[in-house]
Amino acid sequence: MSARQEAGTATAHRVVILGAGYAGLAAAIQLAARVKRREDVQVTLVNAQERFTERMRLHMTATGQRLAELSVPELLEGTGVQFVRGWVTAVDADAKTVRIDDDRVLPYDTLVYGLGGVADTSAVPGAEDHAYTLSSAQDAELLADRLARLGNGTVVVAGSGLTGIESAAEIAERHPELNVVLLGRQEPGAAMTPKARAYLRAALHRLGVQVRAGVEVVKVLPDGVELAGGESIAADAVQWTSGTRISPLAAAAGLAVDERGRIVTDATLRSVSHPEVYAIGDAAAIRQGYGVMHGTCQGGMPTGVHAALSIDRVLKGRQPKPFRFGYYHTPVSLGRGDAVVQFTRPDDSPRRFCLTGRMAVRYKETVTASPWPTYGRMKKMPASGAFWPRGGRFTREAK
């Protein structure tokens, strides 16, 4: 802890940010840059690990690819943010405290909740016990270890959403000896244009991924999955990607949450039940004109920046502004050599234009690699992080 923070501890306004994911880091760096000259504000960031988890690359981790070592404490150097490594076990919204590793207690005046989400293994019996997930880097490493030891055999990827598609393609490319089966209710790329969807389907076919759409996995077994209707598919490993769920911490704290446990926010990203709590990223239920935002990095980073701007405004005695965001793309990797990028309208519906092949690979890699340098830029020029598509007429009614 720096001398400035120690000196300020007794009287400072304590902002505690939970989660150093894409959203939490954006909030911490943006806020630190805004309050740099203030002795009376202390910013603390809590995260389970020192290493930044590049969640958008966890399907690469799951196939044994080594990622860059990105250190959160190193990134925070010179910002004045105090980093606390630990596992958040409880939030007491009345006492305004956070419990860490069950033995430390951090008081706050303002809380920013950005603990993200995990694969919803509670959705069907057996998934929690028998399925692998990409919920954390450790979970992805467990899957990598299993795949490396299989030799040959069948891997079922349950869930045909974007994480399922990226995982199935990556596994098939890295482990051509394995039989990869992608199962889901919907056709892969169902929300894309017919052209992008057809490209995606052909790429999965080329990689040898067997796609079965229109099926529902109702049980995960130690040696396979059971489908609605009674059919069983034998598998040596099952990866569960169907749906996400949020940590029960927020609901347990008495914060107003939606049916998936996400903190319900007002237009400025404050909890509707506890205005001193801001919710960001995948853990927040943020309503826009087109509906409640779904979890993405493209939307998550702006929520972190906006929460920081709102806190800075409130600390200066001003009103926070409404948050507005419109989607602009859905980039999907298909192994390391292929990809599809579907451009979208602000409400996430597909535009006619899409990229495929090498151009799409370059685009997707640029997007995936961009958060870390963005944080570095924000440290020096906070305004550089405050640009994102506001969604035009699609988000105006959220004002």
Contact positions vs ligand FAD (CB under 6 A) = 19-24, 46-48, 53, 55-56, 58-59, 87-88, 114-116, 134, 163, 166, 247, 281-283, 295-298, 300, 331
In terms of Cα–Cα distance, which of 122, 132, 139, 149 is closest to 53? 139
Nearer to ligand FAD among residue 75 and residue 88 (C-beta): 88
Q: Is 391 left (phi over 0), alpha (psi -120 to 50) or beta?
A: left
Q: How far is the CB of 160 from ligand FAD (least distance, A)?
A: 14
Residue 39 · residue 12 · CB < 8 Å: yes
- Cβ-closest residue to ligand FAD? 21
* Tokens found for residue 111: 């809380």
Beta-carbon contacts of residue 205 (< 8 Å; ≥ 6 apart): 211
Q: How far is the CB of 272 from ligand FAD (least distance, A)?
A: 19
Nearer to ligand FAD among residue 5 and residue 298 (C-beta): 298
396: phi then psi, degrees, rounded to nearest 5:
-60, -35
Nearer to ligand FAD among residue 53 and residue 160 (C-beta): 53
Nearer to ligand FAD among residue 55 and residue 379 (C-beta): 55
Nearer to ligand FAD among residue 159 and residue 224 (C-beta): 159
Residue 280 · residue 304 · CB < 8 Å: yes
- Give, rounded to a whole angstrom, the gap between the first and last alpha carbons of the chain: 39
Q: How far is the CB of 363 from ligand FAD (least distance, A)?
A: 10
C-alpha dihedral, 20 to 244 to 196 to 176, nearest 10° = 90
For 237, the enclosing helix (H) or strand (E) is: strand 237-240
Nearer to ligand FAD among residue 56 and residue 224 (C-beta): 56
Q: At what angle do helices 371-380 and 357-369 cross, to 10 degrees?
A: 40
Q: How far is the CB of 232 from ligand FAD (least distance, A)?
A: 27
Q: How far is the CB of 24 from ligand FAD (least distance, A)?
A: 5
The rounded distance, in Å, linking the Cα atoms of 146 and 183 is 20
Q: How far is the CB of 216 from ligand FAD (least distance, A)?
A: 21
Specify the 3-state DSSP secondary structure of 221. Answer: strand
Residue 84 · residue 165 · CB < 8 Å: no
Nearer to ligand FAD among residue 53 and residue 288 (C-beta): 53
Q: How far is the CB of 354 from ligand FAD (least distance, A)?
A: 14
